[in-house]
Amino acid sequence: MAFTIAIDGPAASGKGTIARQLAARFGYAHLDTGLLYRAVGKQMLDGRDPLDAAQALTPEDVAGEGLRTNAVGQAASRVAALPEVRKALLDFQRAFARRDGGAVLDGRDIGTVICPEAEAKIFVIASPETRAERRHKELVEAGHDLSYDEVLADVHERDERDMGRADAPLKPAADAVTIDTTALGIDEAVARAIAVVEAAR
Ligand code: C5P
């Protein structure tokens, strides 16, 4: 039987961590849909046409190295504004969402476009400064050399592009429960997300 948990929110809001923990807790498959756009964005940076890249995307592309950088994140948000690219990635995501045994998908448009029928929808937010701090820490720990201000500018730029685009903009579904993680530790944020899912089961 299908049971879909849709988790949307801006960059570094905590949605990825929440999604992974929910998947582990309920034994559901997990798809980080940002990786699809990152894999296409990375190929665009390498000179490939983004629509060709989206249409020919393979699991190896999505599991590839170097997808978590700021530059690739920016490229991902540029290709994600192209309706044809989004369309090319739609069927795969929809099929994943409705697979037997349960699925957790995190992204920007899961509850609104990919799976409006999802049984549980969570919209994860946090202040831009908190998100930039988290992302800065992650990037520095991974050996990237960039300042907090650069990361904050990147967060703002990506927010504007993701919320302002015409096709599948970042916004909460009408029936999503919002969790603001600005002042929450990860355990508390996950506990709240679990409560939302339990209430829908
Ligand atoms: O979540 P992540 O930061 O990895 O996503 C990278 C970019 O991919 C986002 O800034 C957004 O533009 C795009 N994206 C999207 N729809 C999704 C997931 C990601 O447009 N469902």
Q: Are 137 and 14 in contact (CB under 8 A)?
A: no
Ligand 1 centre to CA of 101 (Å) is 25
- Mind listing the pLDDT tens digit for each residue in 108-126? 999 999 999 999 999 999 9
Q: Using CA atoms, how far apart are residues 92 and 152, in angstroms rounded to an integer? A: 32
If one residue of 4, 30, 33, 89 were mutated to test the ligand 1 pocket, choosing by the most ligand atoms within 8 A of its CB, it would be 33
167: pLDDT strictly greater than 90: yes
- Specify the amino acid at residue 200: A
Q: Using CA atoms, how far apart are residues 79 and 49, in angstroms rounded to an integer? A: 10
Residue 132 CB–ligand 1 contact under 6 Å = no
Q: Tokens 């355990």 map to which residue? A: 187
Q: How is residue 127 annotated by DSSP?
A: -
- Mind listing the pLDDT tens digit for each residue in 177-198? 999 999 999 999 999 999 999 9
- Mind listing the pLDDT tens digit for each residue in 133-160? 999 999 999 999 999 999 999 999 999 9
- Mind listing the pLDDT tens digit for each residue in 51-109? 999 999 999 999 999 999 889 999 999 999 999 999 999 999 999 999 999 999 999 99
Residue 108 CB–ligand 1 contact under 6 Å = yes
The pair of structure tokens assigned to 119 is 């049984």
Ligand 1 centre to CA of 17 (Å) is 15
Q: Using CA atoms, how far apart are residues 104 and 126, in angstroms rounded to an integer? A: 20
The pLDDT value given to residue 1: 86
* Closest ligand 1 atom to Cα of 110: 21
ipTM above threshold 0.85 = yes
* Closest ligand 1 atom to Cα of 77: 12
- Specify the amino acid at residue 101: G
